[in-house]
Structure 1
Amino acid sequence: MIKVLVVDDDFMVAKVHSGYVARVPGFEVVAAAHTGAEAIRAVDELRPDLVLLDIYLPDIDGLSVLRELRAHPTADPDVIMITAARDLDAVRGALRGGALHYLIKPFSFEALRDQLEGFRALHSKLSELPGDAPAAQQDIDRLFGARVRRTALPKGLTTETSEVVERVLREATEAGGDLSASECAEASALSRVSARKYLEHFTDTGRAEVRLRYGGTGRPERRYRWIG
Protein backbone atom coordinates (compact mmCIF):
# COMPACT_ATOMS: atom_id res chain seq x y z
CA MET A 1 0.00 0.00 0.00
CA ILE A 2 1.13 3.55 -0.77
CA LYS A 3 0.91 5.65 2.38
CA VAL A 4 -0.58 9.14 2.02
CA LEU A 5 -0.59 12.13 4.37
CA VAL A 6 -3.36 14.69 3.73
CA VAL A 7 -2.55 18.26 4.80
CA ASP A 8 -5.32 20.89 4.83
CA ASP A 9 -6.30 23.54 7.36
CA ASP A 10 -10.01 22.81 6.82
CA PHE A 11 -11.05 19.66 8.70
CA MET A 12 -13.97 18.93 6.38
CA VAL A 13 -11.91 19.41 3.22
CA ALA A 14 -9.23 17.11 4.63
CA LYS A 15 -11.94 14.53 5.31
CA VAL A 16 -13.26 14.79 1.73
CA HIS A 17 -9.78 14.44 0.23
CA SER A 18 -9.02 11.51 2.51
CA GLY A 19 -12.20 9.87 1.25
CA TYR A 20 -11.08 10.42 -2.33
CA VAL A 21 -7.74 8.73 -1.61
CA ALA A 22 -9.44 5.79 0.10
CA ARG A 23 -11.44 5.12 -3.07
CA VAL A 24 -8.30 4.52 -5.15
CA PRO A 25 -6.96 0.94 -4.85
CA GLY A 26 -3.46 0.66 -3.48
CA PHE A 27 -3.54 3.85 -1.38
CA GLU A 28 -4.21 4.42 2.31
CA VAL A 29 -4.37 7.64 4.32
CA VAL A 30 -2.11 7.30 7.35
CA ALA A 31 -3.03 10.68 8.87
CA ALA A 32 -4.46 14.13 8.25
CA ALA A 33 -2.60 17.25 9.39
CA HIS A 34 -4.08 20.74 9.69
CA THR A 35 -0.99 22.89 10.27
CA GLY A 36 2.48 23.02 8.79
CA ALA A 37 4.05 21.93 12.05
CA GLU A 38 1.71 18.92 12.26
CA ALA A 39 2.59 18.00 8.67
CA ILE A 40 6.34 18.07 9.28
CA ARG A 41 5.95 16.06 12.48
CA ALA A 42 3.68 13.49 10.78
CA VAL A 43 6.18 13.02 7.94
CA ASP A 44 8.95 12.43 10.46
CA GLU A 45 6.91 9.92 12.48
CA LEU A 46 4.89 8.11 9.79
CA ARG A 47 7.17 8.29 6.75
CA PRO A 48 4.40 8.57 4.12
CA ASP A 49 5.19 7.92 0.47
CA LEU A 50 3.07 10.84 -0.72
CA VAL A 51 1.85 14.12 0.82
CA LEU A 52 -1.20 16.00 -0.46
CA LEU A 53 -0.19 19.48 0.68
CA ASP A 54 -2.25 22.65 0.94
CA ILE A 55 -0.51 26.04 0.67
CA TYR A 56 -2.78 28.06 2.97
CA LEU A 57 -1.99 26.80 6.47
CA PRO A 58 -2.46 28.70 9.75
CA ASP A 59 1.16 28.68 10.92
CA ILE A 60 3.59 28.29 8.01
CA ASP A 61 2.60 28.12 4.37
CA GLY A 62 2.71 24.91 2.39
CA LEU A 63 5.63 26.03 0.22
CA SER A 64 7.73 26.48 3.35
CA VAL A 65 6.64 23.00 4.44
CA LEU A 66 7.68 21.67 1.02
CA ARG A 67 11.15 23.22 1.38
CA GLU A 68 11.45 21.80 4.89
CA LEU A 69 10.56 18.32 3.66
CA ARG A 70 13.12 18.54 0.88
CA ALA A 71 15.78 19.45 3.43
CA HIS A 72 14.78 16.58 5.75
CA PRO A 73 17.75 14.26 6.34
CA THR A 74 15.80 11.00 6.25
CA ALA A 75 12.14 11.41 5.24
CA ASP A 76 11.64 12.82 1.74
CA PRO A 77 8.14 12.00 0.46
CA ASP A 78 6.76 12.98 -2.91
CA VAL A 79 4.32 15.89 -2.82
CA ILE A 80 1.23 16.91 -4.77
CA MET A 81 0.02 20.43 -3.98
CA ILE A 82 -3.74 20.74 -3.40
CA THR A 83 -4.64 24.38 -2.99
CA ALA A 84 -6.81 27.33 -3.95
CA ALA A 85 -3.68 29.43 -4.62
CA ARG A 86 -3.58 30.46 -8.28
CA ASP A 87 -0.76 33.02 -8.36
CA LEU A 88 2.28 32.25 -10.47
CA ASP A 89 4.68 32.68 -7.54
CA ALA A 90 2.97 29.79 -5.79
CA VAL A 91 3.09 27.63 -8.91
CA ARG A 92 6.77 28.45 -9.44
CA GLY A 93 7.52 27.70 -5.81
CA ALA A 94 5.85 24.31 -6.11
CA LEU A 95 7.79 23.48 -9.27
CA ARG A 96 11.11 24.57 -7.80
CA GLY A 97 10.37 22.65 -4.62
CA GLY A 98 9.94 19.45 -6.59
CA ALA A 99 6.16 18.97 -6.31
CA LEU A 100 4.89 16.30 -8.69
CA HIS A 101 1.73 18.20 -9.53
CA TYR A 102 -0.48 21.14 -8.57
CA LEU A 103 -4.25 20.66 -8.22
CA ILE A 104 -6.42 23.76 -7.80
CA LYS A 105 -9.34 23.39 -5.39
CA PRO A 106 -12.11 22.53 -5.75
CA PHE A 107 -11.20 19.54 -7.89
CA SER A 108 -13.09 16.37 -8.74
CA PHE A 109 -12.39 12.88 -7.50
CA GLU A 110 -11.43 11.96 -11.07
CA ALA A 111 -8.73 14.66 -11.15
CA LEU A 112 -7.10 13.38 -7.97
CA ARG A 113 -7.52 9.74 -9.00
CA ASP A 114 -5.69 10.50 -12.25
CA GLN A 115 -2.72 11.93 -10.34
CA LEU A 116 -2.67 9.09 -7.83
CA GLU A 117 -2.69 6.50 -10.58
CA GLY A 118 0.15 8.34 -12.30
CA PHE A 119 2.08 8.33 -9.05
CA ARG A 120 1.43 4.62 -8.59
CA ALA A 121 2.82 3.96 -12.10
CA LEU A 122 5.91 6.01 -11.27
CA HIS A 123 6.29 4.24 -7.93
CA SER A 124 6.04 0.86 -9.67
CA LYS A 125 8.63 1.77 -12.30
CA LEU A 126 11.07 2.94 -9.62
CA SER A 127 10.68 -0.30 -7.69
CA GLU A 128 11.46 -2.32 -10.81
CA LEU A 129 14.89 -0.74 -11.28
CA PRO A 130 17.88 -2.54 -9.76
CA GLY A 131 19.20 -0.50 -6.86
CA ASP A 132 22.84 -1.48 -7.37
CA ALA A 133 23.15 -0.85 -11.12
CA PRO A 134 23.35 2.35 -13.21
CA ALA A 135 20.06 3.34 -14.84
CA ALA A 136 19.89 3.04 -18.61
CA GLN A 137 18.60 5.98 -20.65
CA GLN A 138 15.44 4.09 -21.60
CA ASP A 139 14.71 3.50 -17.92
CA ILE A 140 15.12 7.21 -17.21
CA ASP A 141 12.90 8.11 -20.18
CA ARG A 142 10.19 5.81 -18.85
CA LEU A 143 10.39 7.36 -15.39
CA PHE A 144 10.20 10.95 -16.55
CA GLY A 145 7.58 10.05 -19.11
CA ALA A 146 5.38 8.75 -16.28
CA ARG A 147 5.34 12.27 -14.84
CA VAL A 148 3.90 13.90 -17.95
CA ARG A 149 0.42 15.20 -17.33
CA ARG A 150 -2.19 13.36 -19.32
CA THR A 151 -4.25 15.71 -21.54
CA ALA A 152 -5.73 13.25 -24.05
CA LEU A 153 -9.47 12.78 -23.99
CA PRO A 154 -10.59 10.11 -21.52
CA LYS A 155 -12.34 7.01 -22.80
CA GLY A 156 -15.89 7.76 -23.91
CA LEU A 157 -15.26 11.40 -24.91
CA THR A 158 -14.91 12.46 -28.55
CA THR A 159 -12.94 15.24 -30.22
CA GLU A 160 -15.97 16.53 -32.11
CA THR A 161 -18.13 16.92 -29.00
CA SER A 162 -15.19 18.35 -27.07
CA GLU A 163 -14.87 21.10 -29.67
CA VAL A 164 -18.59 21.91 -29.37
CA VAL A 165 -18.44 22.18 -25.57
CA GLU A 166 -15.25 24.23 -25.79
CA ARG A 167 -16.88 26.69 -28.21
CA VAL A 168 -19.94 27.09 -25.97
CA LEU A 169 -17.79 27.64 -22.89
CA ARG A 170 -15.46 30.07 -24.69
CA GLU A 171 -18.38 32.16 -25.92
CA ALA A 172 -19.88 32.36 -22.43
CA THR A 173 -16.54 33.36 -20.94
CA GLU A 174 -15.83 35.98 -23.63
CA ALA A 175 -19.24 37.46 -22.87
CA GLY A 176 -18.13 37.89 -19.26
CA GLY A 177 -20.05 35.00 -17.78
CA ASP A 178 -19.77 31.37 -16.79
CA LEU A 179 -21.84 28.23 -17.29
CA SER A 180 -23.30 25.43 -15.24
CA ALA A 181 -23.35 21.91 -16.67
CA SER A 182 -27.10 22.26 -17.29
CA GLU A 183 -26.68 25.53 -19.20
CA CYS A 184 -23.83 24.07 -21.24
CA ALA A 185 -25.91 20.99 -22.02
CA GLU A 186 -28.79 23.12 -23.30
CA ALA A 187 -26.51 25.26 -25.47
CA SER A 188 -24.65 22.28 -26.93
CA ALA A 189 -27.63 19.90 -27.30
CA LEU A 190 -26.09 17.34 -24.93
CA SER A 191 -27.28 15.64 -21.78
CA ARG A 192 -26.26 17.31 -18.54
CA VAL A 193 -24.15 14.27 -17.59
CA SER A 194 -22.25 14.39 -20.89
CA ALA A 195 -21.68 18.14 -20.72
CA ARG A 196 -20.33 17.87 -17.20
CA LYS A 197 -17.84 15.16 -18.22
CA TYR A 198 -16.33 17.49 -20.83
CA LEU A 199 -16.37 20.48 -18.48
CA GLU A 200 -14.63 18.48 -15.76
CA HIS A 201 -12.05 17.25 -18.28
CA PHE A 202 -11.28 20.86 -19.26
CA THR A 203 -10.95 21.71 -15.57
CA ASP A 204 -8.72 18.74 -14.82
CA THR A 205 -6.37 19.64 -17.69
CA GLY A 206 -6.12 23.32 -16.75
CA ARG A 207 -8.16 24.79 -19.61
CA ALA A 208 -11.18 25.76 -17.52
CA GLU A 209 -11.74 26.78 -13.94
CA VAL A 210 -14.66 26.01 -11.67
CA ARG A 211 -16.15 27.93 -8.78
CA LEU A 212 -18.96 27.01 -6.44
CA ARG A 213 -22.15 29.07 -6.24
CA TYR A 214 -24.00 28.48 -3.00
CA GLY A 215 -27.79 28.66 -2.95
CA GLY A 216 -30.33 28.40 -0.18
CA THR A 217 -30.56 24.61 -0.08
CA GLY A 218 -28.87 21.57 -1.53
CA ARG A 219 -25.40 21.15 -2.94
CA PRO A 220 -23.54 24.18 -4.35
CA GLU A 221 -23.69 24.67 -8.12
CA ARG A 222 -20.46 24.27 -10.08
CA ARG A 223 -19.87 27.17 -12.52
CA TYR A 224 -17.27 26.90 -15.29
CA ARG A 225 -15.14 29.46 -17.14
CA TRP A 226 -12.70 28.93 -20.01
CA ILE A 227 -9.11 29.99 -19.25
CA GLY A 228 -7.31 28.39 -22.21
Structure 2
Amino acid sequence: MIDVLIVDDDFRVARIHRGFVERLEDFRVVATASTGEEAIAAVEQLRPDLVLLDLYLPDMFGLDVVARLHTAGHDCDVLVISAARESDNVRRAVRYGAVNYLLKPFSFEELRGRLEQYAARRSTLSKSMVCDQGDIDRALTSSSPITGSSALPRGLSPETAGLVEEILRKQAGTLSAAECAHQIGISRVSARRYLEHFAAVGRAAVTLRYGNTGRPERRYRWTVRSGS
Protein backbone atom coordinates (compact mmCIF):
# COMPACT_ATOMS: atom_id res chain seq x y z
CA MET A 1 0.00 0.00 0.00
CA ILE A 2 1.33 3.43 -0.97
CA ASP A 3 0.54 6.19 1.53
CA VAL A 4 -0.33 9.55 -0.03
CA LEU A 5 -0.47 13.09 1.38
CA ILE A 6 -2.56 15.57 -0.61
CA VAL A 7 -1.55 19.24 -0.39
CA ASP A 8 -3.91 21.85 -1.82
CA ASP A 9 -5.18 25.13 -0.40
CA ASP A 10 -8.68 24.59 -1.85
CA PHE A 11 -10.48 22.01 0.29
CA ARG A 12 -12.91 21.24 -2.54
CA VAL A 13 -10.08 20.43 -4.93
CA ALA A 14 -8.35 18.38 -2.24
CA ARG A 15 -11.56 16.41 -1.72
CA ILE A 16 -11.78 15.65 -5.45
CA HIS A 17 -8.16 14.53 -5.60
CA ARG A 18 -8.65 12.40 -2.50
CA GLY A 19 -11.60 10.71 -4.20
CA PHE A 20 -9.45 10.02 -7.27
CA VAL A 21 -6.65 8.45 -5.23
CA GLU A 22 -9.00 6.35 -3.11
CA ARG A 23 -10.39 4.72 -6.24
CA LEU A 24 -7.03 2.99 -6.71
CA GLU A 25 -6.58 -0.12 -4.62
CA ASP A 26 -2.82 0.22 -4.14
CA PHE A 27 -3.02 3.77 -2.76
CA ARG A 28 -4.47 5.28 0.40
CA VAL A 29 -4.70 8.90 1.50
CA VAL A 30 -3.28 9.36 4.98
CA ALA A 31 -3.98 13.11 5.27
CA THR A 32 -4.60 16.37 3.47
CA ALA A 33 -2.90 19.71 4.08
CA SER A 34 -3.82 23.21 2.95
CA THR A 35 -0.56 25.08 3.66
CA GLY A 36 3.13 24.44 3.29
CA GLU A 37 3.69 24.32 7.04
CA GLU A 38 0.85 21.80 7.44
CA ALA A 39 2.38 19.69 4.70
CA ILE A 40 5.82 19.67 6.33
CA ALA A 41 4.29 18.76 9.71
CA ALA A 42 2.23 15.97 8.13
CA VAL A 43 5.28 14.49 6.41
CA GLU A 44 7.18 14.61 9.70
CA GLN A 45 4.38 12.84 11.56
CA LEU A 46 2.99 10.40 9.00
CA ARG A 47 5.98 9.70 6.70
CA PRO A 48 3.92 9.27 3.50
CA ASP A 49 5.44 7.61 0.46
CA LEU A 50 4.10 10.18 -1.99
CA VAL A 51 3.00 13.82 -1.75
CA LEU A 52 0.58 15.25 -4.31
CA LEU A 53 1.71 18.85 -4.10
CA ASP A 54 0.07 22.01 -5.34
CA LEU A 55 2.49 24.88 -5.93
CA TYR A 56 0.32 27.87 -5.07
CA LEU A 57 -0.01 27.64 -1.29
CA PRO A 58 -0.99 30.55 0.99
CA ASP A 59 2.18 30.59 3.10
CA MET A 60 4.93 29.45 0.72
CA PHE A 61 5.58 28.22 -2.79
CA GLY A 62 5.18 24.48 -3.16
CA LEU A 63 8.72 23.84 -4.39
CA ASP A 64 10.04 25.56 -1.27
CA VAL A 65 8.18 22.88 0.67
CA VAL A 66 10.15 20.27 -1.28
CA ALA A 67 13.42 22.04 -0.48
CA ARG A 68 12.61 22.05 3.23
CA LEU A 69 11.67 18.38 3.16
CA HIS A 70 14.99 17.55 1.52
CA THR A 71 16.89 19.63 4.08
CA ALA A 72 15.11 17.78 6.89
CA GLY A 73 16.14 14.46 5.37
CA HIS A 74 12.72 13.24 4.28
CA ASP A 75 12.81 10.98 1.22
CA CYS A 76 9.13 10.97 0.26
CA ASP A 77 8.40 11.33 -3.43
CA VAL A 78 6.59 14.35 -4.82
CA LEU A 79 4.12 14.53 -7.72
CA VAL A 80 3.35 18.15 -8.58
CA ILE A 81 -0.30 18.91 -9.40
CA SER A 82 -0.65 22.55 -10.30
CA ALA A 83 -1.95 25.13 -12.72
CA ALA A 84 1.56 26.63 -12.88
CA ARG A 85 2.67 26.46 -16.52
CA GLU A 86 5.87 28.50 -16.28
CA SER A 87 8.76 26.52 -17.72
CA ASP A 88 11.04 27.70 -14.88
CA ASN A 89 8.76 26.02 -12.36
CA VAL A 90 8.66 22.81 -14.38
CA ARG A 91 12.44 22.71 -14.71
CA ARG A 92 12.87 23.42 -11.01
CA ALA A 93 10.44 20.64 -10.14
CA VAL A 94 12.46 18.23 -12.29
CA ARG A 95 15.70 19.34 -10.60
CA TYR A 96 14.09 18.76 -7.20
CA GLY A 97 13.27 15.19 -8.21
CA ALA A 98 9.51 15.41 -8.79
CA VAL A 99 8.29 12.07 -10.15
CA ASN A 100 5.80 13.83 -12.41
CA TYR A 101 4.14 17.18 -13.11
CA LEU A 102 0.41 17.16 -13.85
CA LEU A 103 -1.37 20.31 -14.97
CA LYS A 104 -4.73 21.25 -13.48
CA PRO A 105 -7.45 20.58 -14.28
CA PHE A 106 -6.99 16.89 -14.98
CA SER A 107 -9.20 13.83 -15.19
CA PHE A 108 -9.17 10.73 -13.03
CA GLU A 109 -7.69 8.79 -15.95
CA GLU A 110 -4.79 11.21 -16.28
CA LEU A 111 -3.95 10.96 -12.59
CA ARG A 112 -4.44 7.21 -12.55
CA GLY A 113 -1.95 6.73 -15.37
CA ARG A 114 0.71 8.66 -13.54
CA LEU A 115 0.09 6.96 -10.22
CA GLU A 116 0.25 3.54 -11.86
CA GLN A 117 3.55 4.49 -13.49
CA TYR A 118 4.83 5.63 -10.10
CA ALA A 119 3.75 2.37 -8.48
CA ALA A 120 5.53 0.38 -11.19
CA ARG A 121 8.72 2.36 -10.69
CA ARG A 122 8.48 1.96 -6.92
CA SER A 123 7.99 -1.78 -7.29
CA THR A 124 11.07 -2.09 -9.48
CA LEU A 125 13.21 -0.14 -7.02
CA SER A 126 11.89 -2.03 -3.98
CA LYS A 127 14.08 -4.99 -4.89
CA SER A 128 17.33 -5.29 -2.96
CA MET A 129 19.14 -5.67 -6.28
CA VAL A 130 18.12 -4.97 -9.87
CA CYS A 131 18.40 -7.85 -12.32
CA ASP A 132 19.85 -6.01 -15.29
CA GLN A 133 20.13 -2.70 -17.12
CA GLY A 134 16.55 -3.13 -18.32
CA ASP A 135 15.28 -2.87 -14.74
CA ILE A 136 17.17 0.39 -14.30
CA ASP A 137 15.92 1.80 -17.60
CA ARG A 138 12.32 0.93 -16.74
CA ALA A 139 12.65 2.52 -13.32
CA LEU A 140 14.10 5.72 -14.71
CA THR A 141 11.52 6.09 -17.47
CA SER A 142 8.34 5.00 -15.69
CA SER A 143 8.02 8.33 -13.85
CA SER A 144 7.32 9.89 -17.24
CA PRO A 145 3.88 9.75 -18.86
CA ILE A 146 5.48 7.73 -21.65
CA THR A 147 4.71 4.03 -21.56
CA GLY A 148 4.81 0.83 -23.57
CA SER A 149 6.04 1.02 -27.11
CA SER A 150 7.26 4.58 -26.71
CA ALA A 151 10.46 3.71 -24.82
CA LEU A 152 12.82 6.58 -25.45
CA PRO A 153 15.77 6.35 -27.81
CA ARG A 154 19.23 7.24 -26.57
CA GLY A 155 19.75 10.94 -25.89
CA LEU A 156 16.13 11.77 -25.07
CA SER A 157 15.24 12.66 -21.49
CA PRO A 158 12.14 11.15 -19.81
CA GLU A 159 11.53 14.43 -18.00
CA THR A 160 11.59 16.53 -21.16
CA ALA A 161 9.54 13.92 -23.03
CA GLY A 162 6.94 14.18 -20.28
CA LEU A 163 6.76 17.96 -20.71
CA VAL A 164 6.37 17.65 -24.49
CA GLU A 165 3.63 15.08 -24.00
CA GLU A 166 1.78 17.33 -21.55
CA ILE A 167 1.83 20.21 -24.03
CA LEU A 168 0.61 17.98 -26.87
CA ARG A 169 -2.18 16.51 -24.74
CA LYS A 170 -3.47 19.96 -23.74
CA GLN A 171 -3.22 21.42 -27.24
CA ALA A 172 -6.60 22.02 -28.84
CA GLY A 173 -5.18 21.94 -32.35
CA THR A 174 -1.75 21.22 -33.79
CA LEU A 175 1.65 22.34 -32.57
CA SER A 176 4.91 23.12 -34.34
CA ALA A 177 8.36 22.32 -33.01
CA ALA A 178 9.07 26.04 -32.60
CA GLU A 179 5.89 26.57 -30.58
CA CYS A 180 6.63 23.56 -28.40
CA ALA A 181 10.21 24.73 -27.83
CA HIS A 182 9.02 28.19 -26.78
CA GLN A 183 6.59 26.80 -24.19
CA ILE A 184 9.13 24.46 -22.59
CA GLY A 185 12.27 26.56 -22.94
CA ILE A 186 14.34 24.22 -25.09
CA SER A 187 15.74 24.54 -28.61
CA ARG A 188 13.54 23.97 -31.65
CA VAL A 189 15.83 21.15 -32.78
CA SER A 190 15.43 19.38 -29.44
CA ALA A 191 11.66 19.83 -29.44
CA ARG A 192 11.44 18.38 -32.93
CA ARG A 193 13.37 15.25 -31.85
CA TYR A 194 10.79 14.52 -29.16
CA LEU A 195 7.86 15.31 -31.45
CA GLU A 196 9.25 13.09 -34.20
CA HIS A 197 9.71 10.29 -31.67
CA PHE A 198 6.06 10.50 -30.65
CA ALA A 199 5.10 10.46 -34.31
CA ALA A 200 7.31 7.43 -34.99
CA VAL A 201 5.68 5.37 -32.22
CA GLY A 202 2.16 6.34 -33.24
CA ARG A 203 1.35 8.68 -30.37
CA ALA A 204 1.30 11.85 -32.44
CA ALA A 205 0.05 12.59 -35.93
CA VAL A 206 1.95 14.86 -38.32
CA THR A 207 0.37 17.26 -40.79
CA LEU A 208 2.06 19.68 -43.17
CA ARG A 209 1.20 23.36 -43.38
CA TYR A 210 2.23 24.92 -46.67
CA GLY A 211 3.22 28.56 -46.88
CA ASN A 212 3.99 30.76 -49.83
CA THR A 213 7.69 29.89 -49.89
CA GLY A 214 10.10 27.40 -48.40
CA ARG A 215 9.51 23.99 -46.91
CA PRO A 216 6.12 23.08 -45.42
CA GLU A 217 5.88 23.35 -41.65
CA ARG A 218 5.46 20.07 -39.76
CA ARG A 219 2.73 20.25 -37.14
CA TYR A 220 1.92 17.65 -34.49
CA ARG A 221 -1.20 16.49 -32.68
CA TRP A 222 -1.49 13.96 -29.83
CA THR A 223 -3.53 10.96 -30.96
CA VAL A 224 -3.69 8.75 -27.85
CA ARG A 225 -6.80 9.01 -25.71
CA SER A 226 -6.47 10.60 -22.24
CA GLY A 227 -4.97 8.28 -19.64
CA SER A 228 -3.21 6.08 -22.23
Q: Which range, TM-score by smaller chain?
A: 0.5 to 0.7
> Match of 2:23?
23
1:57 pairs with 2:57: yes
The 3 A distance-change label for structure 1 pair 102 and 148 is: closer
Give the counterpart letter for 1:144 in structure 2: L
Residue 146 of structure 1: CA displacement? 2.3
Separation (CA, whole Å) in 2 of partners of 1:36 and 1:72: 14
Quote the offset at 1:168 in angstroms. Answer: 8.4
- 8 Å CA contact 2:113–2:145 kept in 1: the answer is no
The answer to whether the 8 A contact 1:53-1:62 is kept is yes
Would the alpha carbon gap of residues 145 and 18 (structure 1) be closer, same or farther in structure 2, given more than 3 Å must change? same
User: Where do residues 62-73 of structure 1 align in structure 2 (5 Å cutoff)?
Assistant: 62-73=62-73
Q: CA 1:11 to 1:169, structure 2 compared with 1: closer, same or farther past 3 Å?
A: same
CA distance in 2, matches of 1:60, 1:167: 30
Amino acid at match of 1:129: S
C-alpha displacement of 1:128: 2.2
Give structure 2 stretches of 5+ with no counterpart.
150-169, 176-222
1:23–1:95 Cα change, 3 Å: same
Give the whole-Å Cα distance in 1 for the aligned partners of 2:56 and 2:120: 29
> 1:108·1:200 contact (CA, 8 Å) conserved in 2?
no
Report SS of the residue matched to 2:91: helix
CA distance in 1, matches of 2:5, 2:51: 5
2:87 matched residue in structure 1: 88
- Assess if the C-alpha contact under 8 Å between 2:114 and 2:143 holds in 1: no
Equivalenced residue count is 161
Match of 1:98 in 2: 97
Structure 2 distance, partners of 1:48, 1:76, is 9
What letter is aligned with 1:118? Q
CA distance in 2, matches of 1:27, 1:2: 5
- What's the CA shift for 1:199? 8.5
Q: How far off its partner does 1:135 sit?
A: 7.4
* CA-based RMSD: 2.7
Closer, same or farther in 2 for the Cα pair 1:147/1:65, shift >3 Å?
Answer: same
Offset of residue 141 of structure 1: 2.1
How far does residue 136 in structure 1 lie from its aligned partner after superposition?
4.8
Q: CA deviation digits over 1:199-226, x for unaligned, max 9?
A: 962xx68xxxxxxxxxxxxxxxxxxxxx
Which residue identity does 1:21 align to in structure 2?
Answer: V
Which residue does 2:141 correspond to in 1?
A: 145
The structure-2 alpha-carbon separation of the partners of 1:167 and 1:35, relative to structure 1 and needing over 3 Å to count, comes to closer
In 1, Cα distance between equivalents of 2:121 and 2:8: 25
Which AA in structure 1 matches 2:51?
A: V
User: Which residue is equivalent to 2:184?
Assistant: none
- CA gap 1:152/1:167 in 2 versus in 1, 3 angstroms: farther
Q: What amino acid sits opposite 1:48 in the alignment?
A: P
Distance of 2:113 and 2:128 partners within structure 1: 23
Distance 2:41 2:75 in 1: 13
AA at the equivalent of 1:149: P
